Amino acid sequence: MTYLRNAWYVAMWAETLDADGPLVSRTLLDEDMVLFRRPDGGIAALEDVCPHRFAPLHMGKLVEDGRNIRCPYHGLEFDASGTCVRNPHGDRIPPCRVRTFPAVEKHTLIWVWMGVSQPDLSLIPDYSFLDPDSGYQISKRDHVTMRSNYRLVANNLLDLSHAAYLHEGILAYPESVRAEISVREEGNYVYVERNRTNVKPALLPDLLFRGDGQPVDVMTVMRWSAPCHLMNDNMTFPVGGRIEEGAGLYGAHILTPVTETSTLYHFAAARRGVPFEGDEQTAAEVRKKMSELRRIAFEEQDEPIVEAQQRYLLKHPEAKPVLLKIDTGPARCNRILDKLISAETQHEQ
């Protein structure tokens, strides 16, 4: 009842598979898997266990020009469909197979379908700003693992009022925490919007916009889609002016439950808005700074809080939060996710 199974989850940035490959192991939704790139460029994802005596396949190697994975223990070989295709100990190939997961590469990420029904490619959210030909200045494609349930991390992202306190100076200031908040649903997406006017710009928004520290208007929209894929659209613009006159970023925040109490969090951002004034060297410095500031915010500021929340909830599972107006977005998305999971559970029974 805790995970939505018929959904895509991100296992890694595509470049990680190529850099750390050929065999990369991951745990998604408590399932251990090994991933590799097939000779045709597609992605293979197999359960990370050999059916013979349960050795982890990621400790083996790719053989037959990358077509088969060889178990490290006694050498059985399996192809990308999980079929056993070679037994070095005799002529009979045992009729065993390794479970496989549908996996695709999209928007520079590797997505794995964790359900039993037919994978639906249209359920992969739009992160096209990350595509290589998008034309955007993209920050580092980064990730952290947080020792916290994915819902706590999602709730953190769906209520960005915390930025004023937890990310004081980097993303916002306490004195400008008040915002107009609205929540709307469109198709598969929920949008949580916060608008603030005439506020002092914090370090990151100022860096991306004018760099003069003068008051600005700020629009922040967090897009959520089930189960836990988020995208932030953040714009800083002249007081009383139009959004198109400003600059900001698109931010990908993609969560993958590893276990009940740990979450793999992939993030990257693209600067957007009025054309960047400066040469390629300045643009590279802005990209670097954007990567650093976001990493600090997520790893050094968000992570300790969501991990502490998780520790408390493990000790006090009956605890219920006090709900404020700022919790409208998280509450709505939690409700939708509960409904989807419960519909899936009923369907399977």
Query: Which of the choices ligand FES, Fe ion, none does residue 344 contact, using the CB cut-off of 5 to 8 A by kind?
Result: none
Q: Closer CB to ligand FES, residue 12 or residue 84? A: 84
Instruction: Single out the residue of 302, 309, 310, 341 in contact with Fe ion (rule: CB under 5 A).
Output: 302
61 lies in the site for ligand FES, by CB under 6 A: no
Instruction: Single out the residue of 10, 24, 35, 76 in contact with ligand FES (rule: CB under 6 A).
Output: 76
Query: Which of the choices Fe ion, ligand FES, none does residue 173 contact, using the CB cut-off of 5 to 8 A by kind?
Result: none
Stretch that binds ligand FES, among 70-78, 172-180, 194-202, 262-270 (CB under 6 A): 70-78
Please, what's the b/e burial string for 83-92 (b: 16 or more CB within 10 A of its CB; e: otherwise)? ebeebeeeee
> What SS3 state is found at 299?
helix
Q: How many residues belong to the site for ligand FES (CB under 6 A)? A: 9
Query: Which of the choices Fe ion, ligand FES, none does residue 302 contact, using the CB cut-off of 5 to 8 A by kind?
Result: Fe ion
Residue whose C-alpha is closest to residue 232's, from 269, 200, 196: 269
Q: Closer CB to Fe ion, residue 220 or residue 225? A: 220
DSSP 90-132: SSPPPS-B--B--EEEETTEEEEE-SSSPP-GGGS---GGGST
CB of 52 to ligand FES, least distance (A): 3
55 lies in the site for ligand FES, by CB under 6 A: yes
Stretch that binds ligand FES, among 48-56, 150-158, 184-192, 260-268 (CB under 6 A): 48-56
89 lies in the site for ligand FES, by CB under 6 A: no
Q: How many residues belong to the site for Fe ion (CB under 5 A)? A: 1
CB of 116 to ligand FES, least distance (A): 26
Task: Work out the angle between the directed axes of helices 328-348 and 150-158 (0-180°, nearest 10).
Answer: 140
Query: Which of the choices Fe ion, ligand FES, none does residue 159 contact, using the CB cut-off of 5 to 8 A by kind?
Result: none
98 lies in the site for ligand FES, by CB under 6 A: no
349, 12 contact by CB (below 8 A): no
Phi, psi of 223 (to 5 degrees): -100, 130
163, 302 contact by CB (below 8 A): no
Give the span between the Cα atoms of 129 and 96, in whole angstroms: 42
Instruction: Single out the residue of 4, 17, 71, 171 in contact with ligand FES (rule: CB under 6 A).
Output: 71
Residues in contact with 238: Cβ distance below 8 Å, sequence separation at least 6, in sequence order: 216, 217, 245, 246
